[in-house]
Amino acid sequence: MKKQLKRAAAATVLGLSLTTGFASAQSGTIDQTGASSTNRINHESTSRQTVRNDTDANVVNRNNQTADSGDVTSNRNTTQQGSVASGHVDNENQTRTSVSVNNMSSHQPAAVASSDNGGTASISNTGFNSDNEISSTSNNTTDVRNTTTLNVTNDSNQTARSGDVNSSQNTTSGSASSGDAFNYNSTTTEISVSN
């Protein structure tokens, strides 16, 4: 009877020690237990991280330009001295588009969560023929999904028209000319995506 009562008392003390050990969640300590006692410290942590990045970027550049030089008409002149000309016309457009998407910083919470080492635990000074066990299980699940959609549209519509030249019915006629017509377009698009 005395032996049984001692074992029951030891089991009671053990139960209190285990309760104290689990109170700190990630750490546990069992100390000074009786003979043939069973001592367990079990730690299990579960971490689930879900990161969703949906990025939509739409860039539209539209350039519409029209330039017309004037018409030149020299008619019914007895004497046309010198030259008759219209001016020079040109269109010029430069477009630069830079799009940068960086989702790397959103991964940091998942990395921090997965660094859990299960805490610390110790069982010491246990009695004769005691059964001692410390177990730690860490389950980390990280799900990162990045969806990036980039649409860049560059439209350049340019029209440059040189004027008409009409020289007729002149007794003496000099030169008649229309100016030059020129179109220029430069487009640069830079896209950077970091997931």
Looking from the CA of 179 toward its CB, the CA atoms found within 13 Å total 14
Per the structure, the complete domain to which residue 63 belongs is given by 2-194
Contact 69, 163 (CB under 8 A): yes
Residue 146 corresponds to which tokens in the numbers above?
A: 């990045």
Q: Report how many domains make up the chain.
A: 1
- Give the separation between CA 146 and CA 142, rounded to whole angstroms: 13
Query: In this prediction, what percent of the chain has a pLDDT beyond 90?
Result: 10
Phi, then psi, of 171 in degrees rounded to 5 = -65, -50
- Give the separation between CA 93 and CA 166, rounded to whole angstroms: 32
Q: Regarding predicted confidence, which is higher, 27 or 9? A: 27
- Give the separation between CA 3 and CA 128, rounded to whole angstroms: 14
Instruction: Flag the least confident range among 12-26, 58-72, 130-144, 151-165.
Output: 12-26
How sure is the predictor about 130, in pLDDT bands with cuts at 50, 70 and 90? very high
Q: Mean pLDDT across the chain, nearest whole number?
A: 77
Q: 186: part of which helix (H) or strand (E)?
A: strand 181-194
For residue 14, pLDDT over 60 is answered with: no
Contact 162, 180 (CB under 8 A): yes
Q: What is the pLDDT of residue 162?
A: 82
Contact 139, 174 (CB under 8 A): no
Residue 154 corresponds to which tokens in the numbers above?
A: 């560059």
How sure is the predictor about 168, in pLDDT bands with cuts at 50, 70 and 90? confident
For residue 159, pLDDT over 50 is answered with: yes
Q: What mean pLDDT is predicted for residues 16-22?
A: 34
Specify the 3-state DSSP secondary structure of 105.
helix
Q: Residues 6 or more apart from 112 whose CB is under 8 A from it? A: none
- Give the separation between CA 163 and CA 86, rounded to whole angstroms: 7
For residue 119, pLDDT over 80 is answered with: no
Q: Counting Cβ atoms within 10 Å, is residue 144 exposed (0-12), middle (13-18) or buried (19+)?
A: middle
Q: What mean pLDDT is predicted for residues 54-83?
A: 83
Q: What is the pLDDT of residue 37?
A: 92
Q: Which of 2-6, 111-115, 166-170 has the highest mean pLDDT?
A: 166-170
Q: What is the pLDDT of residue 106?
A: 64
Q: What is the pLDDT of residue 23?
A: 31
